[in-house]
Chain A
Amino acid sequence: MSSYIRQNRVPLPPPDAKVTTTACDYCVVACGYKVYTWPVGKEGGPKAAENAFNVDFPTSTLGWWISPNQHNIVSVNGQPHHVLVVPDNDATVVNLKGNYSIRGGTNALKAYNPDKPTRDRLLYPQIRVDGKLERVSWDTALDVMVAVSKHVLSKYGEMAWAMKTYSYEFFENTYAITKLAWGSINTAAFAQHDKPGMSSDTGGMDDAGIITFSASYKDYAAADVLFISGTDPFETKTVVFTSWMLGKKLIMVVPRRTAGVAYAEQNGDLHLPVIPGTDTILHLAINRIILENGWEDKEFIDRWVANSWEVDAGFGRGPRNTPWQWRTTWGQFQSNYKDYKEWLLKYEPAELEKAAATTGVPAEKIRKAAEMLTGAGGPRPKASFNFEKGNYWSHNYLNTASLAALGLLCGAGNRPGRVISRLGGHQRGWMAGAAYPMDKTPEKLPGRRRNQLDLDRWVMDGHVRFAWVIGNTWTGGQAASQFLAAALRRFTRENPNQVTSTNKDEIIATLLARVDSGGMVIVDSDIYPVEPINTELADIVLPAAQWGEHDVTRCNGERRLRLYSRFYDPPRRGET
């Protein structure tokens, strides 16, 4: 444990400090930052001409500054350097004028520094010998992985070779990861960090033809009313809230009275404290009030929502996300505006009093939401609809389908200030380098369509002999369970074939015997020790480079491409 000592100074970069650009590594907003590095032993001065910012210190109130928590010491080409990771106050997009949050504002502290808490970083490849992780060379670790993989593939087939990986840690990495797993190995035993299979997060949105990341941040500034469901953006994507959403009429659908909700309430905005899992009924109740009063945007609906002819013909649905399969479910899912209205006005659970009882949201608040979103017959405000995990990670079809319908009724959908969009959690770094081998998955939906494999179930049923885990906890992921953790433990640590030597051939022989006895070998790539996946379960642990240690790219929550420059050495660079 280390105590926090307040700093009374921060070193200034000399005029010749190196400046690189990057974006914040944390939330989906990806605020722009500048990185200043210079050798330890030099410092700039407080006069503008004496520092790389070309700014006089003290800087003025209501402006720009560097806080001591934006400073660290890192290694650059093996030499100790100061580093300042500073919000980009020239930013005219995303984090306007250098806005930043407490998370991104401390980006510098995540850089590896053996004198700071980041000393816990994984530094070299390790193999578990006699139950303890022992340092080995990259060659040894990779040779063992190759030998076990070859054996598993030839004896048990591709589906016994599994991968559980992050979906977001930069395009370059996910491209290579999927090229390996889906292309070269050609396995469907694959899942992203947050769910057990490659299924859609937001099925109802997709079928409604809404691209889930459709908004630009300008749309929030252009909107009059924001319906925000299943997230408090002030807490979790802070800058999009304080740079783009302040001053808008807010309808916050979250169970708890979080800080952003408290702000909204203080401004006379609306908090709908929904009972978790009842969002669908809440949306339907609002939709019903809108339809009962004729407050829907008829012009928009007539022009843009598919009529029954277009539905039958297969037109009018989403350009990208909509699965082709919907066309083969004739008459089962599709609806048009007229059918929908008829159905909803008869659907009892959506009656206001009943819905209030189900959702825990007072009837007058539900009614108020319908009024705020539509103008209640008066001038129509520009309404946008935003949602996140609290909405789509439960009942993800009905919640998102009913929310899409609400948005469309209010005239939202890819119009300036009138969008239906996820706000996002992590940044978007998924770039498939091959196609998911759907023909390999044994799971099927009713009828003839295949379903993406549930990797957790596949593992628990004993089908996997080798798994490579990349940058995620797995046992703590969505829909994971103690049962999954117990299965992983049973197939690895509780198998009698345990490595007792650092000799490569002996390691390989032991792990092949493990695989042939029905057990499993786990490799984990990460930057830190993670309980229990690499501290307890993995046989091979590989260190990885992180943000700032290599040049990489990905997108933020408005699809804006961000570049993350390398500015210091990964730990143990060049060592084997």
Chain B
Amino acid sequence: MSDSCNLQAKISRRSFLFLSGGALALVAMPPELARAAAARGLSLVRVSYPRQKIGRLSALQLGRPVAFQYPHQHPNCSALLYKLGAPAGGGIGPDGDVVAFNNLCTHQGSPIPYFDAVNQVAGPCPLHLTTFDLTRHGMVISGHATDGLPQVVLELDGDDIYATGMMGLIFGFHNNEVIP
């Protein structure tokens, strides 16, 4: 784990994501990094997510999610920015509790209208009751979906919050990078 973190630190977090398997194209990168990555069974793929300002830390309120579109202007790409009040995987800010997730249930694509601020849970989805844990990268707690809510990768620049990438495939997409 720490190896891949070190490796990750040497390249821009924004332009590369680590993926498993050999099905994806290896892209131009310093040869020593490519060798190190290959030795660990990792391959790197260039992804072209926009860097997009989505809000200000000082404006966020506990338990009051803010809607935004990311990474595309497509109805499936509606996302919510949360201040959870509890440390979360991938969280930013002084308390590590600011996270963002795509808001379509990964089961059958319903927008999720409910947020349980006490337990930091998205859902239950009104269609078939799936719930997602926002402190744990959006993983399924209970219900039908076979993957967690896609998490929006965030960066903090002063008070400004930027979306810089996605972890997990957005409902309806076969590839997050293909601009519809």
Partner of A234, one of B129, B168, B172: B129
Question: Are the C-beta atoms of B167 and A8 separated by less than 8 Å?
Answer: yes
- Verify if A63 is at the interface (C-beta below 8 Å from B): yes
* B76 interfacial by beta-carbon distance below 8 Å: yes
Task: Compute how far the CA of A102 lies from the CA of B132 in the bound complex, rounded to whole angstroms.
Answer: 13
Most chain A C-beta atoms within 10 Å of own C-beta, residue among B145, B167, B169, B176: B169
Given A68-B147, A102-B143, A259-B142, check contact A6 B109 (CB 8 Å): no
A540 within 8 A of partner (CB): no
A interface majority secondary structure: loop
A68 to B168, CA, bound (A): 9
**Most B CB within 10 A of own CB, among A9, A46, A70, A99:** A9
When the two chains form their complex, are residues B129 and A6 in contact, meaning their CB atoms are under 8 A apart? no
Bound: A189/B76 CA distance, A: 59
Contact A68 B169 (CB under 8 A): yes
Q: Which segment, of B17-25, B51-59, B60-68, B91-99, faces chain A?
A: B17-25
Contact count band on A = 35 or more
Which 6 A-B pairs give the minimum distances between C-beta atoms? Answer: A105-B146, A58-B172, A9-B175, A6-B168, A69-B146, A59-B172
Partner of A105, one of B109, B144, B166: B144
Which residue in A57, A60, A100 is a CB contact (below 8 Å) of B109?
Answer: A60
Q: In B71-94, which residues have CB < 8 Å from any A CB?
A: 74-76
Q: Which residues of B contact A9 (CB under 8 A)?
A: 169, 173-177
Q: Could you tell me which residues of chain A, from 67 to 89, have a CB within 8 Å of some CB in chain B?
A: 67-70
Provide the residues of chain B in CB contact with A98, threshold 8 Å: 108
B104 within 8 A of A: yes
The answer to whether A5 and B19 touch across the interface, beta carbons within 8 angstroms, is yes
Report whether B124 and A65 are in contact in the complex, using a CB–CB cutoff of 8 Å. no
User: Is B8 positioned at the interface, with any CB of A under 8 Å from its CB?
Assistant: no
Q: Is the CB of A62 within 8 A of B169?
A: no
Residue of B nearest to A260 (CB): B129
Q: Which residue on chain A has the smallest CB distance to residue B128? A: A242
Interface set, chain A 96-140, CB cutoff 8 A to B: 98-102, 105-106, 115
Contacts of B74 in A (CB 8 A): 58
Nearest-CB distance from B119 to chain A (Å)?
12
**Is B100 engaged at the interface, CB distance under 8 Å to the other chain?**
no
For residue A106, which residues in chain B have a CB less than 8 angstroms away from its CB?
A: 146
A526 to chain B, nearest CB (A): 26
| Count of interface residues, chain B, beta-carbon cutoff 8 Å | 47
B171 nearest CB across to chain A (Å):
6
CA distance A575 to B14 in the complex (A): 48
By the criterion CB–CB under 8 Å, are B172 and A61 in contact? yes
Contact status A65-B168, CB under 8 Å: no
Q: Which residues of B contact A60 (CB under 8 A)?
A: 75-76, 109, 172
Q: Find the A residue at minimum CB distance from B49.
A: A8
Give chain A nearest CB distance to B99 CB in angstroms.
14
On whether the beta carbons of B129 and A63 are closer than 8 Å, the reply is no
Cross-chain contact B144 with A101 (CB below 8 angstroms): yes
Tell me the bound Cα distance from A98 to B144 in angstroms: 12
Known contacts A7-B169, A263-B129; is-contact A46 B174 (Cβ 8 Å): yes
Does A147 sit at the interface, judged by CB under 8 A? no
What are 8 contact pairs spanning A and B, CB under 8 A? A5-B20, A8-B17, A8-B176, A46-B175, A59-B109, A60-B75, A65-B171, A234-B129
Q: Check B30 for interface membership: any CB of A closer than 8 A.
A: no
Q: Which residues of chain A from 179 to 214 have a CB within 8 Å of any chain B CB?
A: none
Give the distance to chain A from B108, nearest Cβ to Cβ, in Å.
7
Which listed residue (B110, B111, B146, B177) contacts A102, Cβ 8 A? B146
Q: Quick one: CB contact mask for A5-29 with B, threshold 8 Å, 1 for yes?
A: 1111111100000000000000000
User: Does A544 sit within 8 A of B, measured CB to CB?
Assistant: no
Is B178 engaged at the interface, CB distance under 8 Å to the other chain?
yes
B-contacting residues, A393-422, CB 8 Å: none
Complex CA distance for A223 and B72, rounded to whole angstroms: 45
Question: Is B106 in the interface zone, CB < 8 Å from A?
Answer: yes
Asked whether, in the complex, the Cβ of A62 is within 8 Å of the Cβ of B173, the reply is no
Residue of A nearest to B147 (CB): A67
A residues within 8 A CB of B148?
6
Contact status B146-A70, CB under 8 Å: yes
CB distance from B14 to the nearest CB of A (A): 14
